[in-house]
Structure 1
Amino acid sequence: MQPHDPRALLRAMFDAAVAAAQPALCVPRHLPAVPKGRLLVIGAGKASAAMARAVEDHWQGELSGLVVTRHGYAVPCRRIEIVEAAHPVPDAAGETASRRLLQFVRGLTADDLVLCLVSGGGSSLLPLALPGLGLGDEQALNRALLASGASITEMNCVRRHLSAIKGGRLAAACHPARVINLLLSDVPGDDPIDIASGPTVPDPTTCADALGLLRRYKIDVPARALELLESGEGESLKAGDPRLPPIETRFIATPQKALEAAATVARAAGWPTYILGDAIEGEARDVAKTLAGIALQVARRDQPFPRPCVLLSGGETTVTVRGGGRGGRNVEFLLSLGLALDGEPGIHALAGDTDGVDGQEEIAGAVLAPDTLARAWALGLRPRECLDDNDGHGFFEALGDSVVTGPTLTNVNDFRAIVIGGSSTGAP
């Protein structure tokens, strides 16, 4: 990679962010001491199978386990069973896996240890509704939440209070065995309750909170769901609940660490680099307008940072779906950014999901260049109409500017980088 090649720099930074969160690198140093009793390994998430493999490769004693991951994200393990299920809309395989996990941890003793491997995507991979609701209800709720514009924190609050496994319920099933959580964070703020909707941690939010969110976003749910929330029957487990076992939580990778890895790459290539935040939320197209304003101020006035420089950010934006396009919050961000920059010379950008899947597409994200809009118009594309139709994937794919990684086997949320050169060529 040459320092003057913005596109190569963008991809090198993205690859470094993903590499920094690889379970093989992060898991071993967080493994606990061998317990007096049994070690059971459980988990859920897009990175959970790779995490399980890292445990197997570095554990000195006996173990057994059951972990559920996304279709296509399985990693061969010898002693830990890996089950695949659907994401982002749950399926019957995930429901069966959830029931099996609850059964798997029954009958333990205080000498036993449950090592829980949790990463992003676990909410969809652990669908098990409270009595009176079924898988179809959870599927419909997930679709409605994904299209509502609710933040990941808000979505997970609702999920926890209608689930028989989330909101600390899986931890309660492990009692009296100790539980150690190894978390690979994909959420703004790194709150354990929001990673896979907190199956093995206590939850301070309430049924009333979940009910308020359903009303705020005008999400229709079955009468039974309302009954569970209004009566408090769906209440999650709180700190100090005697049903919970001893719980210890360790973060093995976070969005901030991934951004720092990317910054190291950029600085080594001669680019001053600034991390704007690892927990930026909001509508993707609105976040893009804000970051475009900052980038233009840098490019035109050398404020608040002088050119050349790189601006990095992470977090999880949302998309309120109004069109019929292929979606993707990172490509929606990037298309909105391109429209706001309007071909400003010397500014390039990349936005991608570190798990390799932006929305429901097997595409991580895309890259943006000063000539992106001009090339689109030359192909007969209408960028504004593509944005209005939530079709960022269709737009960037037509230009050959999609970023495709395949399953990365990790997930530390969204990665955004804006490279602002010192000249119209983008060179520092």
Structure 2
Amino acid sequence: MTELEPKRFLTSIFRVAVAAADPELTIRSHLPEKPKGRTIVVGAGKGAAQMAAALEKAWDGPLDGVVVTRYGYAAPCERIRVLEASHPVPDEAGLAASRALLDAVSGLGADDLVIALVCGGGSALLPSPPQGLTLADEIAVNEALLASGAPISAMNAVRKHVSTIKGGRLAAAAHPARVVSLIVSDIPGDNPALVASGPTVPDEASREDALMIVAAYGMKLPDAVMAHLNTPQAAAPRPDDKRFAGNQVRLIASAAVSLEAAADEARRQGVEAIILSDSIEGEARDVGSVHAAIAREVATRDRPFRKPVLILSGGETTVTLRARGKGGRNSEFLLAFALGIDGVSGVHALAADTDGIDGSEDNAGAFADGETVMRMRTAGIDAKAMLAGNNAWTAFNAVDGLFVPGPTGTNVNDLRAILVR
């Protein structure tokens, strides 16, 4: 272990985890049978363009279609049109993209096939407010959800009831064509209906559930949105709707697979690896404190795992906004973690979003060790105050602790890797 450079080691773990979710490696084994009629491709998410490019290489018949991804995340495609829109705040380009996807599946017949390429980030990229609501209303909903601290399942229960494309509505618009959804899951528990708010996969959450979630988290939504949610027209299609009969859902990549690949890579480099869970949720700073307690116990008492060891976890934490600082859920997790291991030697950690972006800045996450808080203090940064102000990006930027790999082309949620030497 003495020859291991922690940042280099942790970066290698991240890259192997991302590679395990590379659509070019995973999509080929999940292709549907070719139809008698046309093959239309639609898709949305931060990795949708890379999925489209991989599908073009793997599919030897005719196809066309359109996908939407985040600005700067496009990949070259020959037959599938790639659109770009704003994330995490929806914009007019996203509105146009939603219309393009709905247009692409309209007028299809029973002999036609729709291949839906869906991954994380699609919710913001597909704004499509119902009649009577505006893009501004949908942006307000999105901002309220992101600030609420609600888990992703609750967020998507609300989102799909304020949309004409989410909650299975895109698949319903394609009826009677068969829809096969190829999904890269960034959702704890890998429920495909929650990825990108399920444009082609309905779930059981009802309009009444959405209203209860709004009340439970104290969300302040526009009056027009609340009026819409209180009408039967807001109800999303149910999973037993006959329009979905014959459709298929295929999970082509997930956090679980990527964490196993990361663990195998650690062992290949001579470090035992433990996976805590691939579906951890909760407030980012609280999850960070718990992970710090585990790391301290290993570092000081060799329990519950013997060192050297790599502790891995995945899932999607949430951040309740208390101020308007710069950050994201991974950097906030890691700042709480850094405070929890302050002064503990031999502990090094990386927390990063596998899509390459944590929050709205250009970093995927950050690195921390037992001296991170001390370095912040030397730089004039009060780590506790930064955490209180949701300003983790600023704190790690001050000590050159940000991790900036760039867009990865996939998204299987967050990766937390803690090395105890």
TM range (shorter): over 0.9
C-alpha contact (below 8 Å) 2:285/2:333 kept by paired residues: yes
Taking the TM superposition and a 5 Å limit, the aligned residue runs for 1:44-193 are 44-193=44-193
Deviation at 1:102, TM superposition (A): 1.0
CA distance in 1, matches of 2:90, 2:56: 27
CA distance in 2, matches of 1:125, 1:3: 44
CA distance in 2, matches of 1:2, 1:76: 43
CA distance in 2, matches of 1:219, 1:240: 30
Taking the TM superposition and a 5 Å limit, the aligned residue runs for 1:169-248 are 169-248=169-248
CA distance in 2, matches of 1:336, 1:292: 8
- Answer yes or no: is 1:290 the counterpart of 2:308: no
Deviation at 1:340, TM superposition (A): 0.9
CA distance in 2, matches of 1:393, 1:39: 44
CA distance in 1, matches of 2:106, 2:285: 46
Deviation at 1:224, TM superposition (A): 3.0
Q: Sort the Cα spacing of 1:2 and 1:25 in 2 relative to 1 into closer, same or farther, 3 A.
A: farther
Matched residue of 1:273: which SS? strand
Matched residue of 1:131: which SS? coil
Residues matched between the structures, number: 421
TM-score, with length taken from structure 1: 0.96
Taking the TM superposition and a 5 Å limit, the aligned residue runs for 1:196-345 are 196-345=196-345
Q: Deviations over 1:46-72 (max 9, x none)?
A: 111000001111111101111011101
Q: Which moved more, 1:409-418 or 1:319-328?
A: 319-328
- Structure 1 segments of 4+ aligned residues over 6 angstroms from their partners: none
Deviation at 1:2, TM superposition (A): 7.9
Structure 2 residue ranges without an equivalent (≥5): none
Tell me the amino acid that sits aligned with residue 356 of structure 1.
Answer: G
C-alpha contact (below 8 Å) 2:140/2:222 kept by paired residues: no
C-alpha contact (below 8 Å) 1:170/1:200 kept by paired residues: yes
Matched residue of 2:327: which SS? coil
**Counterpart for residue 389 of structure 1:** 389
CA distance in 1, matches of 2:214, 2:348: 39
Q: Sort the Cα spacing of 1:31 and 1:222 in 2 relative to 1 into closer, same or farther, 3 A.
A: same
Matched residue of 1:286: which SS? helix
Deviation at 1:222, TM superposition (A): 2.6
Q: Deviations over 1:331-364 (max 9, x none)?
A: 1110100101112011110000011110111110
TM-score, with length taken from structure 2: 0.98
CA distance in 2, matches of 1:323, 1:182: 38
- Answer yes or no: is 1:420 the counterpart of 2:411: no
Tell me the amino acid that sits aligned with residue 313 of structure 1.
Answer: S
**Counterpart for residue 425 of structure 1:** none
C-alpha contact (below 8 Å) 1:3/1:9 kept by paired residues: no
RMSD of Structure 2 on Structure 1 (CA): 1.2
Matched residue of 1:323: which SS? coil
- Answer yes or no: is 1:30 the counterpart of 2:54: no
Deviation at 1:40, TM superposition (A): 0.3
Q: Deviations over 1:8-36 (max 9, x none)?
A: 11111011111111111111111122211
C-alpha contact (below 8 Å) 2:281/2:318 kept by paired residues: yes
Matched residue of 1:209: which SS? helix
Q: Which moved more, 1:114-123 or 1:396-405?
A: 396-405
| Identity %, equivalent residues | 52
Tell me the amino acid that sits aligned with residue 366 of structure 2.
Answer: A
C-alpha contact (below 8 Å) 1:386/1:392 kept by paired residues: yes
CA distance in 1, matches of 2:72, 2:379: 34
Deviation at 1:246, TM superposition (A): 2.3
Q: Deviations over 1:262-320 (max 9, x none)?
A: 11111011111000000000000000111111111111222111111110000001111
Structure 1 residue ranges without an equivalent (≥5): 422-428
Matched residue of 1:368: which SS? strand
C-alpha contact (below 8 Å) 1:171/1:245 kept by paired residues: no
Q: Deviations over 1:59-94 (max 9, x none)?
A: 111011110111011111111000000001100111
CA distance in 2, matches of 1:343, 1:4: 20
Matched residue of 1:380: which SS? coil
CA distance in 2, matches of 1:245, 1:229: 27
CA distance in 1, matches of 2:193, 2:224: 24
Taking the TM superposition and a 5 Å limit, the aligned residue runs for 1:4-15 are 4-15=4-15
Q: Which moved more, 1:3-12 or 1:347-356?
A: 3-12
Q: Deviations over 1:141-182 (max 9, x none)?
A: 111111111111111110001111001110011101100000
Matched residue of 1:75: which SS? coil
